[in-house]
Amino acid sequence: MTTFLVIVNVAFMLLFITGLYIMQKKHISFSKRVFTALGVGVVFGLVMQFFYGTKSEVVKTSIDWFNIVGTGYVKLLQMIVMPLVFISILSAFTKLKLSNNIGKISGIIIGILVGTTAIAAGIGIATSLTFNLEAVQIEQGDAEITRATQLEQKLGDIQNITLPQKMVELLPENPFMDLTGARPTSTIAVVIFAAIIGLAFLGVKRKNPEQADIFAKIVETFYTIIIRVVTLVLRLTPYGILALMTKVTATSDYNAIWKLGKFVVASYVALIIMLIIHLLLLAFAGLNPMTYVKKALPVLIFAFTSRTSAGALPLNVKTQTNELGVPEGIANFAGSFGLSIGQNGCAGIYPAMLAVMIAPTAGIDPFTPSFILTLILVVAISSFGVAGVGGGATFAALLVLSTMNLPVALAGLLISVEPLIDMGRTALNVSGSMTAGLLTSKITKELDANVFAETKQQKAEAL
Per-residue pLDDT of the chain (463 residues; tens, 9 = 90+): 788 899 999 999 999 999 999 999 998 888 788 889 988 998 999 999 888 887 788 889 999 999 999 889 888 888 888 888 888 888 878 876 655 677 788 889 999 999 999 999 999 999 999 998 877 655 555 444 455 455 555 555 555 566 676 677 777 888 888 888 777 667 778 888 888 898 899 889 888 888 989 999 999 899 889 888 888 888 888 999 899 889 888 887 777 677 677 888 999 999 999 999 999 999 999 999 999 999 999 899 888 887 788 778 888 988 999 999 998 888 888 888 887 788 898 889 988 998 898 888 888 888 899 999 999 998 888 777 554 444 467 777 777 887 788 877 666 666 667 778 888 999 999 999 999 999 999 999 889 989 998 766 555 554 4
Q: Which domains does the chain have, with CATH numbers?
A: 2-462 (1.10.3860.10)
- Measured CA to CA, the distance from residue 114 to residue 292 in angstroms comes to 21
Give tens-digit pLDDT for 244-271.
Answer: 889 888 887 777 677 677 888 999 999 9
Q: Which amino acid is at 153?
A: Q
Q: What would the pLDDT profile of 351-368 be if each residue is shown by its tens digit?
A: 899 889 888 888 888 889
Phi, psi of 132 (to 5 degrees): 55, 50
With contact defined as beta carbons under 8 Å apart, do 437 and 335 qualify?
yes
Tell me the angle at which helices 261-284 and 102-130 cross, rounded to the nearest 10 degrees. Answer: 140
What sign does the dihedral 374-375-381-386 (CA atoms) show?
Answer: positive
